[in-house]
Structure 1
Amino acid sequence: MAYKTEHITQQIRAAREAKNMSQRELSARSGLTQSHISQIERGTMEPGLSSLVDVARALDLEIVLAPKKLMPAIGNILGSASVTSDTLTSEQRKLVGRLERWLAGVRDQFSIASEADTLKDSLALLRHLPLSADELDRLREATLHLNRWQDDPPSRKELSEFAHAVRQLRNATVHRDRDGAVPRSAYALEEEDDDA
C-alpha cells in the first residue's frame, strides 16, 4: 500500500541506518514505541505529523515546507550534503572558520546589518558544501583580504564588495550541477523546462 509519506519514511529509515541506530534506540530518543517505528518504516502505518517530527528530530533532521520554485537549489544542497565529509578539505574548514571568526569581530562595521547576516549565512553554507578546485582558490583569495585588513581596516564599501563576492561564491557552489559542470538556475518555473 503506497502512502503519501512513503518517500519521507524511506528517508527516515535510511537516516537511522546511516547512523547505525537500532529501532529500539530511535524509540528511546523519539518517545515512540519500537513497534510504531517498525510499522512506519515498513509502510504498514501512515504516521501522523507529530510522530514524523519526533522521529526526524531524534535523527537530527527537520521537516520543513519550502516553496516549489526553490526545490532545485534545495536538491542541489542536499545532494552536496550527502557527499561524504571527506570531500571537504581541512583547508576549506580552516578558511571558512577564519572568515567566520573575522566576521564576528567586524560585524558592526558593515553599513547594513543584513549584509553581515547574509555573509554569515553564506559562510555557514560554504562550511558544508564540497568546493571544486576553482571555488577553493576563490575562497583562498577571499581570506587574503584579511591579512591586508589587519594593518589597514576595510572601508564600508570594501566590506560590502567582500560580502558580495562571498555570496557569489556560495551561489555558484549551490547552483552548479552536481557533476560540477555548468551553473544552473535554482528558480525554474516548471519541472519540464530544460533551459532553467
Structure 2
Amino acid sequence: MKYETQEIADRLRESREAKQLSQRELSRLAGIPQAQISRIEANSVDLRLSSLIALASALDLEIALVPRKAVPAIKSITRQTTERTVVQPPSIGKEMQQLQKAIRALQIDVPTLPQLDELRKATASIQRLQIDTRFLDNLRAVRNTIERAQKTDHWKGLSDATKSMKALRNQIAHFEPTTEQRSANRPAYSLDDEEEEDA
C-alpha cells in the first residue's frame, strides 16, 4: 500500500459510492476495466495519470495542481460542498435519479459527445440546490429531451437540454418560497417560546 496515493484512492471510491455507481458501471463510463478500478480503489496498483483523468471525468471531478499553501482552504471548500446533503421531496428525488440515469446511458453509449460535459456540469449544479416540486415538470421535460435525442441520434437536442438545465438552475436558485411554505418549515418548538412562558 502506498501512503501517498491512499487519499486519492479513497476519494475516488467515495465519489463513486456517492454517485451510487458500481465498479462495473464506472468501468463502462471511464473505459477502464472493472478489475483495474478495484485495484485502484484498494491502492494496490500504481495509478496512471490517464486512468486518473478518465475516472475523474466519469465521476464529475476535476484534477488540479494547487499551491501547497492553498490546500487547507480548498479542502474546507470541498468539504462544504460535498458534506451538505440536500434532502429533496420524494417526487423530485425520483426524477433526479431518472435524469442521472439518462445522462449515464449517454455517457456509456456516446462518451465522446462534445455536449455531454456541459450537460453533466449543469445537472451537477442543480443537485446541490433545494428543488421545489413546482419544478418537477421542468426536470421531466429536460429528461424527455435527453432521452429523445438518444433514441433519434439527434444530438442538437442535448444542446437544448443543457440550455434548459442552465435556465432551470437559475430559476431554482432565485426561487422564493411562499409565506405558507416558509411557515411550514418553521420548527414547532424553539427556546424563545420557552423563555416567554417562564416570564
Instruction: State TM-score, norm by structure 2.
Output: 0.42
